[in-house]
Structure formats: C-alpha cells, structure tokens
C-alpha cells in the first residue's frame, strides 16, 4: 500500500473568499471517491488549529500500489480536479510512502 498526503495553503482575499475556495478544493477531491481504480481511501481535512504555520487543507489517500498512485496522477478525473483548483493554492506539500 502507498499513502499519499498532500497539503495546501489556499488563496483568499477575504475570510469568506478563502473559506469558499477551501470548500471548492474539498468538494473537488471528495468527488473522486469511487472514480479511480486502486484508490482505496480518500479523506480531506480542513485545518482548525488556526496556527500561522499550519496548512489550510490536507488530502490523505491510500492506494493499493505505486502503480495505482502513478495511474491516479494521470487519470482524467484527477486531471480535471487539478484544473478545477488551479489558481486556488499558494503552496503545496506532498509526501508519499509505502505502508
């Protein structure tokens, strides 16, 4: 199994704008459930800590293999989500590891 974790900081000109952008990111990734072969688990978390060094959103996902994660990276639904959230993030961090 491969665990894939991505964290973003999201743009927003106001608190309301940032919250709306976070919800767009969250909804876009939640729509991937059941759409990607080999994607075993997907959850999206929104930071509630409020600390200045926290990321706004985290994606935690599990894939059956590295090949499944590689296929996810180029899957049309994942590419659609990437296009949908383009321009909403100011920073992105990623960790992939075998479990």
CATH number at residue 66: 3.30.70.100
Task: Give the per-residue pLDDT at 33.
Answer: 96
Measure the CA–CA gap between 18 and 50, rounded to whole angstroms: 13
**pLDDT digit string (tens) for 20-76?**
999 999 999 999 999 999 999 999 999 999 899 999 999 999 999 999 999 999 999
Q: How many domains does the chain have?
A: 1
Domain extent, residue 27, equals: 2-98
CA distance 37 to 50: 35
Q: Which residues contact 75 (CB under 8 A, 6 or more apart)?
A: 35, 36
The H-assigned helical ranges of the chain are 15-30, 66-74, 76-85
pLDDT at residue 13, rounded to an integer = 87
pLDDT for the residue numbered 41? 98
In the predicted model, what is the mean pLDDT of residues 6-19?
A: 94
Q: Burial of 74 by CB count in 10 Å (0-12 exposed, 13-18 middle, 19+ buried)?
A: exposed
Q: Quick one: pLDDT at residue 94?
A: 97
Asked if residue 92 lies in contact with residue 25, where contact means CB atoms within 8 angstroms, the answer is no
């Amino acid at each position: 199994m491969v665990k894939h974790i991505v964290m973003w900081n999201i743009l927003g000109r106001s608190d309301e704008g940032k919250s709306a952008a976070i919800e767009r990111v969250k909804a876009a990734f939640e729509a991937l459930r059941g759409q990607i072969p080999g994607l075993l688990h997907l959850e999206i978390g929104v930071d509630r800590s409020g600390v200045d060094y926290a990321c706004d959103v985290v994606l935690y996902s599990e894939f059956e293999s590295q090949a499944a994660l590689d296929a996810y990276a180029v899957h049309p639904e994942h590419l659609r989500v990437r296009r949908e959230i383009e321009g909403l993030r100011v920073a992105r961090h990623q960790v992939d590891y075998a479990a």
